[in-house]
Amino acid sequence: MGPDQMPKQFCDNINISRNEEYFLFQMFSGTSNVVYALTPAHVKRLKLALSYYLAEHEKEYGTVEAEWPPKVTSPIQIADLKTPKKPRRPKEKD
């Protein structure tokens, strides 16, 4: 089956995380998502390929305007996920 006949999904969001050994790409399409693990070498080749194809796209269709703020704070913080402490009961008077 050629690429033109393969089913396609639109990726509307992506989360990327990493450690020393691999990068995780979590790609969302509506309510479903798929996670891909790539080695750092694969990520480097992906970056090169995307740069090449984006440059070719811009030659044909014009400049693509986009921003990427790398320090975006998630609306959900780790502190929000911790189990809240139970309030202490007041001591009973004698």
Supply the pLDDT for residue 9. 84
Position with higher pLDDT, 74 vs 6: 6
Task: Give the tens place of pLDDT for each residue, 30-87.
Answer: 888 999 999 999 999 999 999 999 999 999 999 999 988 777 666 656 566 666 666 6
**pTM score above 0.75:** no
What pLDDT is recorded for position 58?
98
Give the gyration radius of the chain's Cα atoms. 22
The domain locations on the chain are 13-67
